[in-house]
Structure 1
């Protein structure tokens, strides 16, 4: 009873306090529901067509320069449009704004602000690498169902595909990457390892894009010393995990041959096939992702571990708890820390650094960024490619 009286008194005090302060007023409640992206769109709008670039997002400073380059490329190709960029990750939105001070908004806020601004045409361009779960959710739910059908059926919409949407895209990206690494690949004692994100759900065929990329790259490299793995797809992790009712954290070394797609199996087989010991091999690491963010810094390079000094005795190979670099060095490989890496002296910087990081992501290549641009441009003047939701409305 005493506890009930206490809560009742607290509620009365809170009600009285709200009545005395404007922060609890109905006006402020209404103001708090105003879409913050509306002001940005209203201040930006100069044309009848808008382009919304959609990416997962990042909290790392290194990514900002890449995003700026992407926006510049689209502005150059589509001069008579207003261009916006949305993060699809709510976590990245909040953390990026906290670390950079630049306001970021949710995808639905951007879409509603753009829809309310009076645009007659809206193009949505994915900056995803593969057509995975996130890409399909963007195009089928956020854009088609919500924007086109439920909210703004009168607005014409053009959807731009992800980076590796066709076999031709795979070949084009492979050309760019091989040209960049070909000097390293001439030597059998060198390996190039690329880390993609991956889609954890095996029901999505999107992960096949990584295997296709490896095939295309190895077709160009005479020594076949370039491999593609992922940070999130079981069959292509550094050391695989099985998906059962309960995740299995450890797989016996004797069973590693059952997972030929994992990076450990592939690099060890490469050494065996070429009569090499790990100590004889230098490895170059790079993210196969649009930007160099959290996965590139931590899961690939283990930046924090570099900052604290490596204690390789703590690294266990048969888990996925340590970076590729740490586990490779534990095995005995020489990982090149100078070529396209994060400066060791600044490894402890929160959310990366603005200048001086050498980690090169897919968005760092102008020719690869143009593939995203071309996905939108190839249908830009095709009126049949622009769709609206009026045909889905009930009569």
Structure 2
């Protein structure tokens, strides 16, 4: 784990240096007086290529601005695949390193970086490493804190379960909810299992499956049958209802979750509402941001 963390840090440092080189002209002619303290916030979302899904990210940005009036709030996308994809349509989003380089060049001395991811997986680790790299550079940012993702501490998972459950649609007997998580090979995938246990304490008819890891849809279908479920409400366990939600979950293709469930005799109903658009859940990311801002004073 140490070698992996060290490797991530040095990769992030190199990326940060390259990004900062682009911003170097802004430092030309500066004097040697210490810069006055200037605070800023950087929100880092995975990103989305679905225009309709961007509203959830914009809403979170607006909530951050409302929570910290007068503090500039910037946005970055952590997924290079998403950034490259939307760039083809003329939409430009900065990477975390590029955004921090911009903020360093503009004279920000204290920056709270808030992850808008669900679990502390690889992307969150990369965000942490990038932030640490900028703080380590002489021309970087004096103090960078990183806000934890939605499912991080045990108490975060418990609180998130309560907020998610509160946001779910009213159901009749024989109806269940199946939440679609992204899934990862990273050990942080265990957060989904922890969340499932907390949700079951509140409601035995709420299930979690992932697109790219475990549990899979095939793992959950037998549990749905044992519960006597006839109708399944599908909803994304992600900040936005992006491509995975609209295609892998609710699409008409044969291999979508909706199609597979229908073939097994269930009646699927898709709810294209990302967690960032559910006020009770979105509020938790803002609470984590408040903790990150407090950390700037320590």
TM-score category by the smaller chain?
0.7 to 0.9
Measure, in 2, the Cα distance between the counterparts of 1:383 and 1:193: 38
Measure, in 2, the Cα distance between the counterparts of 1:114 and 1:294: 30
Question: What does 1:307-386 correspond to in 2, within 5 Å?
Answer: 315=254, 322-336=255-269, 340=271, 359-382=272-295, 385=298
Question: What does 1:35-54 correspond to in 2, within 5 Å?
Answer: 48-54=38-44
Could you report, residue by residue, the CA deviation over 1:56-111 in whole angstroms, capped at 9, with x for unpaired residues? Answer: 11100122111110110000111121111100111211222334x43222332212
Please state whether the residue corresponding to 2:287 is helix, strand or coil. helix
Counterpart in the other structure of 2:239:
290
Could you report, residue by residue, the CA deviation over 1:10-40 in whole angstroms, capped at 9, with x for unpaired residues? Answer: xxxxxxxxxxxxxxxxxxxxxxx956xx8xx
Counterpart in the other structure of 1:225:
205
For residues 151 and 327 of structure 1, do their structure 2 counterparts lie closer, same or farther at Cα, with a shift above 3 Å needed? farther
Give the structure with higher Rg (CA): 1
Runs of 4+ in 1 over 6 A off after TM superposition: none
1:384 Cα offset (Å): 5.5
Measure, in 2, the Cα distance between the counterparts of 1:175 and 1:198: 21
Q: Does 1:176 align with 2:163?
A: yes
Q: How many residues align?
A: 267
Q: Does 1:107 align with 2:107?
A: no
Could you report, residue by residue, the CA deviation over 1:345-369 in whole angstroms, capped at 9, with x for unpaired residues? Answer: xxxxxxxxxxxxxx11110112211
Counterpart in the other structure of 1:121:
110
Counterpart in the other structure of 2:75:
85
Residue among 132, 144, 147 paired with 1:160: 147
Please state whether the residue corresponding to 1:176 is helix, strand or coil. helix
Please state whether the residue corresponding to 1:219 is helix, strand or coil. helix
Could you report, residue by residue, the CA deviation over 1:113-164 in whole angstroms, capped at 9, with x for unpaired residues? Answer: 111111111111111101111111211x2111x3122464551112111111
Any conservation in 2 of the 1:94–1:104 contact (CA below 8 Å)? no
How high is the TM-score relative to the length of structure 1?
0.63
- RMSD, aligned α-carbons: 2.3
1:292 Cα offset (Å): 0.7
Please state whether the residue corresponding to 1:157 is helix, strand or coil. strand
For residues 117 and 215 of structure 1, do their structure 2 counterparts lie closer, same or farther at Cα, with a shift above 3 Å needed? same
For residues 192 and 154 of structure 1, do their structure 2 counterparts lie closer, same or farther at Cα, with a shift above 3 Å needed? closer
- Segments of 5+ residues of structure 2 without an aligned counterpart are 1-20, 27-36
Measure, in 1, the Cα distance between the counterparts of 2:148 and 2:232: 33
Any conservation in 1 of the 2:113–2:144 contact (CA below 8 Å)? yes
For residues 294 and 382 of structure 1, do their structure 2 counterparts lie closer, same or farther at Cα, with a shift above 3 Å needed? closer
1:371 Cα offset (Å): 1.0
- Segments of 5+ residues of structure 1 without an aligned counterpart are 1-32, 39-46, 240-261, 306-314, 316-321, 341-358, 386-395
Measure, in 2, the Cα distance between the counterparts of 1:117 and 1:296: 37
Counterpart in the other structure of 2:226:
269
